Amino acid sequence: MEEKDWRDFDLFAPTPEHRMLAETVREFVANEVEPQAAEHDRREAFNHGLYRKAGELGLLGATLPEEYGGAGLGAVAAVQIMEGLCTSDPGFGLSVLAHSLLFANNVSVNGDEAQKRHILPRSASGEWIGGLCMTEPEVGTDVLALKSRAVPDGDGFKLSGTKTFITNAGIDENTLGDCFIVYACTEPRVISSFLVEKGMPGLRLGQKWTDKLGMRASYTGELVLEDVRVPRKNVMGEIGEGTVHMMRNLEIERLALAGMSLGIAERCLRVMVDYANERKTFGKPLREHGQIQRYIAESFAEWRAARTYVYDAARRMNLDATGQRVDADGTKLFVSQVAKRAADAAMQVLGGYGYMGEYVVSRLWRDAKLIEIGGGTLEAHHKNLTKDLCRDPSLLDR
């Protein structure tokens, strides 16, 4: 870029491809996502047809290489997609995130050529739906203590254990997802990554978690592994490399979750601004009451700051690299709370109407909370950030 043009740089859509993507997402959300969002939340049902349409539009494979059916874009595109979807339906967005970034992008970065050829085209098109299995009934934040075991068996392994809270474990109560990355120990605290496919004997769908607070349009379930025979060709990377895969993948996961929070905050702002213009109390529009102004103004300033932070971190993030944890944790730590505050402010501005499902913000308020927990809790971000900054204070110089 010429020095005189530097002010033209658009942080939120830096290239023509990003601008086109933003338009595709906007149209998809307006025409296809928004009309079904409330209904799928109410029914606690994943919309598989909508997911397939997202695949047709190229929204599931944005970060995957073009040779495998993807668009070859990076973290900025991932954030754009999550942000856009979550202005309308964060539950659906969570399923897209688990498939595209936790599963497919993870295979793209850490898998071998045969694994990529087998998995990525089916993932980009939406033919397959995938998920990532880290959490277990007794192990969440302390993930290195996971208990699932992989025991050598001929030229492969036998896997046993239970994974829980798995997004996309199923499409519905009777239909298992197609393929999963399962982290399991080959020795105590030595974690490896396995590609486990539907149809492998011993793999089954456990209970569905129903009555979740929010994100109800995503399927959350248990995955049970009972001596599942996994051939050597389905081991991703080297034995013992699972922890590195996990850490590398958590970076894009956290940034994309921050993108989801941006979408929630934006929608809440739009709703409260419209309402403050329309609703009158004591003979004047709500916008003229100082306390209402505070809800809107604080939410706006926080959202703008958050958006700039997320897109700046996204433009710096290299999907193949590791060591970018401070901003992955930093963005999610900050924006998850911004979105929750914005949703709370929106509900307050709308008064009793905000409390009613018809007005959207109560759903967003429920959805927003998940991002303070999933993909790493706020407390995990506090711990990681402090550890990284104290170990390397030069991170403050960037």
Ligand X SMILES: Cc1cc2nc3c(=O)[nH]c(=O)nc-3n(C[C@H](O)[C@H](O)[C@H](O)COP(=O)(O)OP(=O)(O)OC[C@H]3O[C@@H](n4cnc5c(N)ncnc54)[C@H](O)[C@@H]3O)c2cc1C
Binding site for ligand X (CB under 6 A): 98, 131-135, 140-141, 165-167, 212, 215, 220, 370, 373-377, 379-380
The residue among 257 and 306 lying less far from ligand X, judged by its C-beta, is 257
- Characterize 84-115 residue by residue with b for buried, 16 or more Cβ atoms within 10 angstroms of its Cβ, and e for exposed: bbbbbbbbbbbbbbbbbbbbbbbbbbbbeeeb
Could you tell me the two tokens for 306? Answer: 């958050």
The residue among 142 and 320 lying less far from ligand X, judged by its C-beta, is 142
Q: Which helix (H) or strand (E) holds 348?
A: helix 325-350
- Are 120 and 69 in contact by the 8 Å Cβ rule? The answer is yes
3 is known as an active-site residue: no
Nearest Cα neighbor of 224 from 170, 187, 172, 171 is 170
Shortest distance (Å) from residue 43 CB to ligand X: 17
Shortest distance (Å) from residue 370 CB to ligand X: 5
Task: Say how far apart CA 126 and CA 47 lie, in whole Å.
Answer: 12
Shortest distance (Å) from residue 246 CB to ligand X: 9
The residue among 209 and 300 lying less far from ligand X, judged by its C-beta, is 209
The residue among 183 and 359 lying less far from ligand X, judged by its C-beta, is 183
Shortest distance (Å) from residue 165 CB to ligand X: 4
Shortest distance (Å) from residue 60 CB to ligand X: 16
Select which of 44, 222, 253, 372 is catalytic: 253
Q: Which long-range contacts (CB under 8 A, 24 or more apart) does 35-38 make?
A: 36/89, 37/88, 37/89, 37/91, 37/92, 37/217, 37/363, 38/357, 38/358, 38/360, 38/363
The residue among 263 and 374 lying less far from ligand X, judged by its C-beta, is 374
Tell whether the torsion through CA atoms of 281, 284, 289 and 293 is positive or negative: positive
Residues with active-site annotation: 253
